[in-house]
Amino acid sequence: MDNLSDALKKLKITAVDSTADSLEGCLDCLLQALAQNNTETSEKIQKSGILPVFASLLTPQSSCPAKVANIIAEVAKNEFMRNSCVDAGLIPPLVQLLNCKDQEVLLQTGRALGNICYDSHEGRSAVDHAGGAQIVVDHLRSLCSKTDPANEKLLTVFCGMLMNYSNENDTLQSQLINMGVIPTLVKLLGIHCQNAALTEMCLVAFGNLAELESSKEQFAYTNIAEEIVKLFKKQIEHDKKEMIFEVLAPLAENDIIKLQLVEAGLVECLLEIVQKTVDSDKEDDIAELKTASDLMVLLLLGDESMQKLFEGGKGSVFQRVLSWIPSNNHQLQLAGALAIANFARNDGNCIHMVDNGIVQKLMDLLDRHVEDGNVTVQHAALSALRNLAIPVVNKSKMLSAGVAEAVLKFLRSEMPPVQFKLLGTLRMLIDAQAEAAEQLGKNVKLVERLVEWCEAKDHAGVMGESNRLLSALIRHSKSKDVIRTIVQSGGIKHLATMATSEHVIMQNEALVALALIAALELVTAEKDLENAKLVQILHRLLSDERSAPEIKYNSMVLICALMASEPLHKEMQSLAFLEVVSKLRSHENKTVAQQASLTEQRLAVES
């Protein structure tokens, strides 16, 4: 340490007027001290005030710029030194050194800048201001094809420097993307795939940039899918696979890249991982199985990639995924059900799957999870059934198979995601299925649960779906028994509130259901309709210029039906409905105008 103090004093004097030898001796002494105890030596360097002196030694004319840059790189490993390096004005001369041709100078300068930028806003700003990133990107581009060890080491340092420069900083990441760094990095990965350190640095850089939407568009124009799948196939170590997975997940959010990854053979790799890890209880294998199966589901979210893997229901991938559903592994059951839900995104696929027995597999899976089941598996299996129930031809087949009964077993669930999917599945199943709608609508337990969920204010989705299913039971059954069950369970007020929803489709469904109630069971529902202030709601809907034409039309149809009730009719007269309705005779929508004339006549006659 005495030597260090001497060297620092000497440096201050000799930096101005020195022989190369004495300067080099001082620098060697500093490097040696840093190697022995970096933190303590860095503190001494900071206190000595020597840092600004280094700026004058960082010129190409100086006798040893590489050693000075090396010292800066070493001291900047300490967080407390990074701002000091910026304040000492070291960034501009370091960036200038990047224009030098000497490989050792470039290497140490890249290290110094990279370390100063690490987790340091000031460091990054200074490098940005001095234009350092563009020079490094240009170097990467020009040195990209050289495969000698020294050059690969330099490329690794430059990649690391850019990574530290832009890590978790959207603005600087966008800047690098605009400089065209992505095609260069992809090319690097292809050419240097044998070099572990450089490959790793490229992967970290990809992971860093791939979160940005603009980067995905650029990645889609490169052969990243091919290169990364090629690299993935070579990996044996869990950590390396994990690194690649971290890049694949954000990239696979882009539909073009999804298809490229499928075409590059990623799915086969994922299926192989699943096969190898499914029966293992090792932590790494369990994690790998989850990541591989999750990524598989993500690839199926793209329409083209999904259809390519479905192959008309005959694809080997589709068949393998089917085999996951009866498995004993919860993660695979989950991925299998989610995959089926993703395959079930068009009518053709849904019809094929229902005709080939998928429904029974999903019901068996649900059966295994009724008591204390896995909520994510329940949610996924119900999602798949809901999607499969969309095509008209599937509804009666699924009802005959007992899907409604299987789904009703989850009525007791207290988990909003499961409740939401359960409601959606039942709503899809009864669409235009009068008999099923009547059967479910007379199920008191179901209707009471729906009325309860209509008040689930913390869960807007569950609340909305409960209202929609209540309305659907009436609309599709057109049954007096169903209406009576709903009235007795206290459902009327919720249908009246639903008529004020911000979603036109829900308003409409409510108004049509209420019109059926008024036409079929007005006496039974009269008191509840009055308490729900339905007449006032209709007055508001008709007065509001923003109400859609179909809302105005259905409101007037409902008014005509409600006139048969004395108390409701009296309320209409007190609210001057005639005036509001007569204005609508000149409505630009002909159907609305015609209905307004009819309603006006009815109101005039009845008054």
List Cα–Cα distances, 38 to 13, 88, 160, in angstroms.
Answer: 24, 19, 21
Q: What are the pLDDT digits (tens) for 116-165?
A: 999 999 999 999 999 999 999 999 999 999 989 999 999 999 999 999 99
Max Cα distance, the chain (Å) = 114
Asked whether residue 607 carries a pLDDT value surpassing 80, the answer given is no
Cβ proximity of 423 and 466 under 8 Å: yes
Q: Do domains 1-130 and 131-264 have the same CATH topology?
A: yes
Mean pLDDT of 161-181: 93
- Residue 65: predicted pLDDT: 92
Alpha carbon 76 to its chain's center: 37
Q: Which residues contact 9 (CB under 8 A, 6 or more apart)?
A: none
Grade residue 525 by pLDDT with cuts at 50, 70 and 90.
Answer: very high
Q: Cβ-count burial of 130 within 10 angstroms (0-12 exposed, 13-18 middle, 19+ buried)?
A: middle
Q: What confidence category does residue 1 fall into, taking pLDDT thresholds of 50, 70 and 90?
A: very low
CA distance linking residue 566 with residue 503, whole number of Å: 31
Better-predicted residue by pLDDT, 333 or 235: 333
Q: Give me the pLDDT at residue 21, please.
A: 64
Say how far apart CA 440 and CA 405 lie, in whole Å: 10
Counting residues of the chain whose pLDDT is more than 90, the rounded percentage is 70
Q: Where are the domains of the chain?
A: 1-130, 131-264, 306-432, 445-532
- Distance of alpha carbon 540 from alpha carbon 500, whole angstroms: 9
Whether the CB-CB separation of 476 and 466 falls below 8 Å is answered with no
Q: Residue 372, SS3?
A: coil
Q: How far apart are alpha carbons 427 and 466 in whole angstroms?
A: 9
- Under the banding of pLDDT at 50, 70 and 90, the label for residue 19 is low
Residue 2, pLDDT > 60, answer no
Locate 548 and state its tokens: 């859609």
Q: What is the DSSP string of 125-136?
A: HHHHHHTHHHHH
Q: Quote the percentage of the chain above a pLDDT of 70.
A: 97
Beta strands in 348-434 (DSSP E): none
The CATH number of the domain covering residues in 1-130: 1.25.10.10
Query: Mean pLDDT throughout 509-519?
Result: 95
pLDDT digits (tens, 9 = 90+) for 26-43: 888 889 989 999 999 899
pLDDT digits (tens, 9 = 90+) for 288-314: 999 999 999 999 998 999 999 998 888
Record the pTM: 0.82
pLDDT of residue 26: 83
Torsion of CA 500, 506, 507, 513, to 10 degrees: -120
Could you read off the pLDDT of 345-359 as tens digits, one per residue?
999 999 999 999 999
Rounded to the nearest integer, the mean pLDDT of the chain is 91
Confidence of residue 401 (pLDDT cuts 50, 70, 90): very high
Cα distance between residue 504 and residue 507, in whole Å: 5
Q: 274-291: per-residue pLDDT in tens?
A: 999 988 889 988 999 999
pLDDT beyond 80 at 380: yes
CB atoms within 10 A of CB 314: 9
Residue that has been written with the tokens 């009327």 in this structure = 492
Mean pLDDT of all residues in 414-443: 94
Which residue type sits at 516?
Answer: L
- Domain 131-264 sits in CATH at 1.25.10.10
How far apart, in whole angstroms, are the C-alpha atoms of residue 474 and residue 88?
A: 78
* Topology annotation, domain 306-432: Leucine-rich Repeat Variant (1.25.10)
Please report the pLDDT score of residue 15 as a whole number: 57
pLDDT attached to residue 483: 96
What does the pLDDT average to over 170-179? Answer: 93
- CA distances for 489 relative to 442, 450, 454, 483, angstroms: 11, 9, 12, 10
